[in-house]
A and B are shown apart, each in its own frame.
Chain A
Amino acid sequence: MTRLTLKSLASRKLRTALTAMAVVLGVAMISGTYILTDTIDRAFGDIFQQAAEGVDVAVTPRQAVDNGVQETPMDAALLERVKAVPGVAEARGDVFRNVTVVDDENEPVSTGGVPTFVSSAAPGRFEAFDPVEGRLPRADGEIAVDKGTAEEQGFELGETVRVLGDDGIVPLRLVGIAKYGSVDSLAGATVVLTTLRRAQGLTGTEGKFDTIAAAGEGGTSAETLRDRVKAALRGAPVDVRTGEENAEADTKDTQEGLGFLRTALLIFGGIAVFVGAFVISNTFSITVAQRTGELALLRTLGASRRQVLRSVILEAALLGVGASILGLIGGLLVAPGIVLAFKAAGLDLPADDTVLLGRTVFVSLLVGIGVTVVASVAPALRATRVPPIAAMRAGVGLPVRSGRKRFVFAGLLAVVGMAAVLSGLFGGSEGGDAAGQLGLGAAVVFLAVALFSPQLVRPLARVVGAPFERLGLTGRLARENATRQPGRTAATAAALMIGLALVTFVSIFAAGFRASIDDIVDQQFAGELTVRNKDGFSPLPAATRGAVRAVPGVESATGVRFGMSLVNGDETVTFGVDPADLTKGYKLEWEEGDARTLAGMRGDETVVAAPWAKDEGVKVGDTLNVTTTTGEQRRLKVIGSIDEDESGLLGGGILVANDQMARHWDEQRDAFLFLTFADGAKPATVRAGIDRVLDDQFPVAESQDREEVKDAQAGQINQILYLFYALLALSIIVSLFGVVNTLTLSIHERTRELGMLRAIGTSRRQVRRTVRYEAAITAMIGAVLGLVLGIFFAWIVTQPLIDEGFAFELPVATMVGLFVLAALAGVVSAVLPARRAARVDILRALAYE
């Protein structure tokens, strides 16, 4: 039997290859994700190891609350205490922070997410950067750059490099080009090196350090030294580790950061595998049906049911092995592909030597083989039910499946799936758990719809096939052929349905976000202009507000800052505002209090967002225990509440004055500015003045009017949307392999019919057209199911968000486009099967077997 299985696989190479592809793509995505993230992990690990060289003890500021953007530095006075520890031979404090390097036209030299850092540098045992040309900076007017950036930008010693810091652009003389240990650049980032004082000046960290490194005199172990430093710094909000431990902690941090990317990519790989399972299952069902005679013959010759079962499952397992290996190879190609894609999007991921761990191989094989075997179980069981008599008499085939049983099962699955979805949404679980329940529930619902969909094939085909029938016989035959084996068409369409439902789902979300943002901008942006960072998320240099405020014609420039706090123990977003003039540029809806409440807000007072307060059980008049990013404990009295939900700019947390933000949260930089113009000033003139100031001094910032803000936000949402599209395209491609497979198999079955049609005068073109239309109809059935399910899921999932101001809006144009694209994709996948059908040899097709 095993030999037979092998021969049967070998004799159907094309089909085997097509079926395998359904798994290969998903496995490639999964293994590629692992390979990619492992490779990046290792690259960062190497960098951190490099940094630990020569460092016995590393002191870093402990973050009281993670503000997600930039760590809060520590007091520079700690350095003296470290130096005073017995056994410490040398200690040094450093700053390592974001800045921007701009070219002669004031354009940032690195764009699109690649960070630029300034690092304080000085020759010595702690210095990880070695000059390969020139030297490290000695004076505050000097600078060195990493070799990668120098080569990319064509920097040469002696020229001026312009760095945009908190106070505007500073021109510095390039005195050195440096390598980081053995690598040319730091994980693709741009790094400039300056004196400590210059680095602190550029980043607004005068009197502060990001790290303190200490080295011991010979004879003292790193651990001993660490414990002594720890004792000496007791009470300060810092972590004290050995150099080795610090490298490990940093590596772990990036791994956690990468964990998100890994999970996200794995989810898309998982979806593709799920879709692949449909394709496999369907292909095996069709093959088993077509091999009825052969299987019956085996049974007649004495093969047991168990042997038949084993032979089908073995075939699946072998296919799984092959597909997994191909998938792994694909993964090795995918990983650099993703790196290139990110690079094209401007994000340089460090991926020097590809890392293939045993775990990656294991998971790929497990997923690939597991999914093919599981998907083949049902068809294999059906194969065992082929009666031996089928070998003798034509027309005796597989026992007819019970429609009712299937119906009940589908209903049951739908209920279970929906229960999981609803529990994920409203069950009170948070984050990952809720998303997990939601995803699992959705998968079960997909399965239920797929099981039920054979009932829908005929009516749907009648609707979507109607336009084709007008095209004459080819259309009519296409529609009839599509509904001949509703189960087959349904399974093929269901695979496509999954991808399209998810695409629809994210499109609706994106449309909703765009509409919500439009609403907010229209209702709340009261000023003439906003100013923000061109990258959309980084804060503005600290001096931006003052410079813009000084432009003639500007009446007010109010800044909004972002921070994080622990409020009564919970992480809470904290906004810094200018109490006196926030409401000039930004309209607030008050729940309790009014503009005067805010204007009179003192340093120990706060205004809260009403929905947040309701969730937290906070009332006006309460006093909140607030821990700031610098670790300070503050008690703030709630003096008012605004009706701002989480999608609002100032929603989801508490408001404090900007001077408080600077003092206690160490945030000097505004994220947004809202500007109003003086009466009688010509808006165009004022704006031109503002833009000139921004271009000359703060080129990372740009001004936007209301419409531009909307466009910019829509642009950002679309970018994410397109990324989702690209990742979901994988699943859709997998399902298209299913279309190819089903068509190829069906055409094989219809050889005789095709021969007859050709004999009585049907042209090859007409045959091709019939196949293409059939594919289009199948794809359109999948599209209708997918669109409906996608809308349904989006509607359910957005219900809790509607209260928070989310606008549920159907992107009609996108959906029509999706439908048309699906039909076209069907046509494209029919190209090969159609050619095959048209090439049928008439005489052979009509010959009697």
Chain B
Amino acid sequence: MTSTSIALCTDLTRRYGEGDAAVDALRGVSVAFPRGEFATIMGPSGSGKSTLMHLMAGLDSPSGGSVVIDGTELSQLDDGRLTQLRRDKIGFIFQAFNLLPVLTAEENIVLPLSIAGRKPDRDWLETLIAAVGLGDRRTHRPSEMSGGQQQRVAVARALVTRPAVVFADEPTGNLDSRASADVLTLLRRAVDEFGQTVIMVTHDAEAAAVSDRIVELADGRIVDDRRVGQVAA
């Protein structure tokens, strides 16, 4: 399983602060996510699920242990390399959409490529735009779109570079149920049709049900790791 893992955490710890005020957000987490999996990380507030995602995405550095993404050990990388890794190998979907208000939908979608100074692959872009169903909105700005539409743009943006792994942080947190369903369907299709790996952090059980696997955290430790459909241990 390790050889096909796209994201591999070994004995990860993360401590914030020092001395008496120190808080251990992660207390030794080892977990592997294979290529092509749609995984969900769940847990109550303060369980460390966001910290785990931030560490895997190279947004934060661990106090101990290691993270390997697509064969690259993150602790070896400086800020520049980490940035490049996020740009090329990682896709992000945020709860607050986080589109650039000054850019059109299409420009927002190709943003990661623009950052890298690359031209988008036209066929892939068209496929994506069709998949997220925004063909008639490509020149609209975020302020002219609904929350669901904005989040679909964000999904397309996360997929445009065909990253090794897409991290979705509470992607349905700001959406009504219908828009949520749309976005979850999209993520599902990304995994099934395009072979993407998606790791989603959420505390929405309905959202988790769409995924293949649920990793559950509490107090900085993994307390459960099951295939969807299995009953919680």
Query: Closest chain B residue to A759 by CB distance?
Result: B92
Most A-side CB within 10 Å, residue of B87, B88, B91, B95: B87
- Most chain A CB within 10 A, of B80, B86, B88, is at B86
The reply on A846 being an interface residue by CB < 8 A is yes
Complex: how many Å from CA A764 to CA B82?
A: 11
Classify chain B: how many residues form its interface, as a range.
Answer: 20 to 34
Interface string of B97-115 (1 = CB under 8 A from A): 0101111000000011011
Which of A481, A755, A756, A757 has its CB near the most chain B CB atoms (within 10 A)?
A756
Is B102 touching A758 in the complex (CB atoms < 8 A)? no
Out of A473, A484, A753, A758, which one reaches B83, CB within 8 Å?
Answer: A758
Binding site secondary structure of chain A:
helix
Least CB distance, A468 to chain B, in whole angstroms: 14
* B59 CB within 8 Å of chain A: yes
| A760 interface neighbour in B54, B86, B96, B101, Cβ under 8 Å | B86
Contacts of A543 in B (CB 8 A): none
- Give the residue of B84, B86, B95, B117 whose beta carbon is less than 8 angstroms from that of A759: B86
Number of A residues with CB within 8 Å of any CB on chain B:
24
Which of A480, A760, A763, A764 meets B92, CB within 8 Å? A760
With A760-B111, A763-B83: A848-B59 Cβ-Cβ less than 8 Å: no
Asked if A761 meets B102 with Cβ closer than 8 Å, knowing A472-B114, A752-B96, A848-B96, the reply is: no
Answer whether residue B79 sits at the interface, using C-beta atoms and an 8 A cutoff.
Answer: yes
Docked pose: A234 CA to B112 CA in angstroms: 96
Q: How many A-B residue pairs have CB under 8 A?
A: 72
List A contacts of B57 (CB < 8 A). Answer: 759
Residue from B85, B87, B102 in contact with A762 in the complex, judged by beta carbons closer than 8 Å: B87
Residues of B contacting A472 with CB < 8 Å?
114, 117
A842 at the interface (CB under 8 A from B): yes
Interface residues of A in 447-484 (CB under 8 A from B): 472-473, 476-477, 480-481, 484
Q: Which residues of A contact B86 (CB under 8 A)?
A: 759-761
B102 touches A760 (CB 8 A): no
Residue of A nearest to B100 (CB): A753
Instruction: Please report the C-alpha to C-alpha distance between residue A791 and residue B57 in the assembled complex, in whole angstroms.
Output: 55
A236 on the interface (CB 8 Å rule)?
A: no
Known contacts: A843-B54, A848-B95. The answer to whether A477 contacts B100 by CB under 8 A is yes
CB of A766 within 8 A of chain B? yes
B102 contact from A480, A842, A843, Cβ within 8 A: A480
Closest B residue to A483 by beta carbon equals B102
For chain A residues 731-774, which have a beta carbon within 8 Å of chain B? Answer: 752-753, 755-764, 766
Shortest Cβ gap from A527 to chain B (Å): 66
Asked if A481 and B87 make an inter-chain contact with CB atoms under 8 angstroms apart, the answer reads no
C-alpha spacing A570/B60, complex, angstroms: 83
| Residues of A819-849 contacting chain B, CB below 8 A | 842-843, 846, 848
- Does A761 lie within 8 Å of B84, measured CB to CB? yes
> Which listed residue (B94, B101, B112) contacts A761, Cβ 8 A?
B112
In the docked arrangement, what's the CA distance between A761 and B114, Å?
10
By a CB distance below 8 angstroms, the chain B residues around A758 are 83
Interface centre among B57, B85, B100, B157 (most CB of A within 10 A): B100
B44 to nearest A CB, angstroms?
Answer: 16
* Shortest distance between the CB of B111 and any CB in chain A (Å): 7
B205 within 8 A of A: no
Separation of A800 and B131 alpha carbons in the complex (Å): 70
- Which residues of the partner chain A approach B80 to less than 8 Å between Cβ atoms? 763-764
| 1/0 contact string of B103-145 vs chain A (CB within 8 Å) | 1000000011011110000000000000000000000000000
**Docked-complex contact A843 and B60, CB < 8 angstroms:** yes
| Interface contact A764-B102, CB-CB below 8 Å | no
**Residues of A contacting B85 in the complex (Cβ-Cβ under 8 angstroms):** 761
Which residues of chain A have C-beta atoms less than 8 A from B87's C-beta?
Answer: 760-762
Contact A481 B102 (CB under 8 A): yes
A758 to B102, CA, bound (A): 17
Residues of A near B115 (CB, < 8 A) are 473, 757, 760-763, 766
Name 12 extra pairs, CB < 8 A, besides A484-B102, A753-B98.
Answer: A473-B111, A473-B117, A477-B103, A758-B83, A759-B59, A760-B92, A760-B111, A761-B86, A761-B88, A761-B112, A763-B83, A846-B94
Residues in A lying within 8 Å of B, measured CB to CB: 472-473, 476-477, 480-481, 484, 752-753, 755-764, 766, 842-843, 846, 848
Task: Give me 17 A-to-B residue pairs in the complex whose CB atoms sit less than 8 angstroms apart, sorted by A's number.
Answer: A473-B115, A477-B102, A484-B102, A752-B98, A756-B92, A756-B94, A759-B59, A759-B86, A759-B92, A760-B90, A760-B111, A760-B157, A761-B83, A761-B116, A764-B80, A766-B115, A848-B95
Top 6 nearest A-B pairs by Cβ distance?
A761-B87, A480-B102, A473-B114, A756-B98, A761-B86, A763-B83
